[in-house]
Amino acid sequence: MRAVQWFTLLCLQSLVLCWMGESDETAPTTVIIDQLYGYPGEGYSLSIAIGTPPQEFKVILDTGSSNFAIAAAQHKNATSYFLRSQSTTYQSLDKTASVEYTEGFWSGSLGRDVFSLSGVTERSVLVDLVCIENSRDFFQTGANWQGILGLAYASLAKPDSSVTPVFKDMLQQRTVSENIFSMQLCGTVDRNHSYDVSVGGKLVLDGVASELYRGDILYTPIVKEWFYEVELTDIAVDGTSLDMDCKEYNTPKTIVDSGTTSLRLPTAVYNKLLEMLKRKYRNKVCGKSAEFWKSSVSCCWSPVDGSQFKAFPNISLSLSLAGNSSQQFTLVVPPQLYLQAVNNTADDQMNAKDCYKFSIFPSSSGTVLGAIVMEGYYVVFDRTNRQVGFAQSTCEVRAAEFAKPVVKGPMKAKNTSCRYQAPSKNKLSTMSIILIILSLVIILPVTFCLVVTCSRSRNSSGDLSVHAEDWTDSSAANSSDERHLI
């Protein structure tokens, strides 16, 4: 049976490669997948199909991980799961994998099968996938997705980099022709305050969609290819810099991650930002409660009361400019982004109120520019040129009182060389060796001189003698170089 499965899989791969060869002259055109969907705090999902015949699922789109993983066993929070036995093209790879996220965990068996994005089935590809058999706090109550599609680099893949991420498989099998993709995440799409806070967006393959942004795309370099790691040069509140060592903003890293729904900052940076936000907040309706700033409670107000948003300051995130490290550009993040829309309670609906939660959190693993930041911009992951681009999005705002996020720059960088550098064990070892050598250089000659001096000062009986002329006058002794051992 296994031999038959392998034969079928190889035949399918041959057909895919044959199709690739025939399509060399006509490169795939840019594809806009207009079906990203979800709820605040849950991420953006899209429809995919796996296996033969195809089984359809929804998966979270995640630039902060690299594995493609799908529910393959019953779970109370997964509305469906992949039936491997019903796919004639599924092949086990006899390996297991597990991933620990900021929140949640899963583990399962590695396999390989046919994959396609719904609506673009002509771009089917053979991919590595993990069939999730065990999990903790991964599938969420009420969520309408059954897995995750990691779009980061292979070095993050579990159990090791031999597992090929889906996008790399698509590139190698030439179902996409360009090593670039982009996202337009639009946040809450409801325009009439009908208490529907669902989010929507688009995924773009094979190029950049000019209709999804305004102005220029400004790029920041990817400083390391694992996550999409970038470098912050400054953080400000209403134009006033936090004025911290810029390396602290990137300790130990800064990443662009669609799978994290909030903005996360190193604890020291978070504390300084929170202090400044509270100081600049001009209305005590929401901020009077410490629980609001901890995101434990939401704040609600009438949709027509735009003054509530205006009471909160803007946050500016500055990034180094690709190709010119002496310059930067700035993402101006208005409160409509960092205050995340939440489902209204029955009482709030009766009183026609919109509700929001503060969505910035402290982090022990570095800065994460999550979905609430990305929702303000058209974001391009240009893997060919190792850079991430940001431009003003054409997403509509939820209501007239919403300020639109903007991209400012380029401009002279406030700081340079802001990437965090972990202490090197090799450097420490080198320093230890240097100290040891210096100690030997100093101590050995001193010891040698002591021994020689003492041996010369012994009398015939072998006793150590003290010369009277050396010690009769203490002032003379202090003034004479002979009194000091060298």
- Give catalytic residue positions: 62, 257
What are the strands, taking DSSP E only, across 137-231?
Answer: 147-150, 180-188, 199-205, 213-221, 224-225, 228-230
Phi, psi of 32 (to 5 degrees): -110, 115
The answer to whether 409 touches 232, Cβ cutoff 8 Å, is: no
Amino acid at 277: L
Residue with tokens 């009398």: 459
Distance CA 349, CA 329 (A): 40
The answer to whether 328 touches 409, Cβ cutoff 8 Å, is: yes
Residues 271, 44, 85, 110: is their CA dihedral positive or negative? Answer: negative
Distance CA 118, CA 288 (A): 47
Burial class (CB in 10 A: 0-12, 13-18, 19+), 154: middle
The answer to whether 22 touches 123, Cβ cutoff 8 Å, is: no
Q: Report which of 232, 190, 156 is spatially closest to residue 37, judged by C-alpha positions.
A: 190
Amino acid at 265: L
Tell me, rounded to whole angstroms, the distance of Cα 364 from its chain centroid: 13
Distance CA 43, CA 258 (A): 7
Q: How many CB atoms lie within 10 A of CB 395?
A: 22
Tokens representing 287 are 């901020």
The answer to whether 130 touches 70, Cβ cutoff 8 Å, is: yes
Distance CA 128, CA 145 (A): 19
Distance CA 218, CA 470 (A): 79
The answer to whether 166 touches 127, Cβ cutoff 8 Å, is: yes
Please, what is the end-to-end C-alpha distance for the chain in angstroms? Answer: 86
The answer to whether 167 touches 152, Cβ cutoff 8 Å, is: no
Cβ neighbors of 457 (< 8 A, separation 6 or more) are 464, 465, 466, 467
Helices and strands, number each (H, E), in the chain: 13, 27
